[in-house]
Amino acid sequence: MSVYGGEAEMDFDNLNKFFINEDVATEAEEILGDYAQMAPDKIHLTIRVLDGEARIEEIIVKAKTLMNYIKSGEHKHFKDDIMKEMMQQMQEENEALEREMFELQEQEIEILEPPVMEEMN
């Protein structure tokens, strides 16, 4: 760790290593690859720093430790769940755009309609 001008700088060279049971290592790699590509906001790391050395303490996937996430079996439906979430988000955005377009069209109609003139007798 270095301190320059009131700013601290730490080197996290060791954050590319995480040890896990080899029976689930391939599955864990696939899960993390999928999440990194499709839902990176759902992966978090807890790290431990001791004497300037950082280590990954745990990988959290959808609020569960990686091992518990694997044991739960949720990862088997991950891609389907992500697609459903994406479709739902797209549908909500589409509905919001449709409402906005409808409101704009109503405003245009009000602007374009000439005022009604009463006949004078």
Position 120 in a domain: no
Position 118 in a domain: no
Cβ atoms of residues 46 and 58 within 8 Å: yes
Cβ atoms of residues 10 and 49 within 8 Å: yes
Per the listing, tokens 């959290």 go with 60
Residue 28: which domain range? 2-112
pLDDT of residue 121 exceeding 70: no
Position 94 in a domain: yes
Please write the tens of the pLDDT for every residue from 9-55: 766 776 777 888 889 999 999 888 888 888 888 899 998 888 877 88
Position 62 in a domain: yes
Per DSSP, the three-state class of 21 is coil
Segment 93-112 shows an average pLDDT of 82
Q: Which of 78, 80, 75 is nearest to 65 (CA)?
A: 75
The number of domains in the chain is: 1
Instruction: Taking the CA atoms of 82, 84, 89 and 90 in sequence, report the sign of the dihedral they define.
Output: positive
What is the pLDDT at residue 79? 78
What is the pLDDT at residue 11? 66
Strands 64-65 and 53-61: antiparallel
Position 92 in a domain: yes
d(CA 62, CA 42) in angstroms, rounded, equals 5
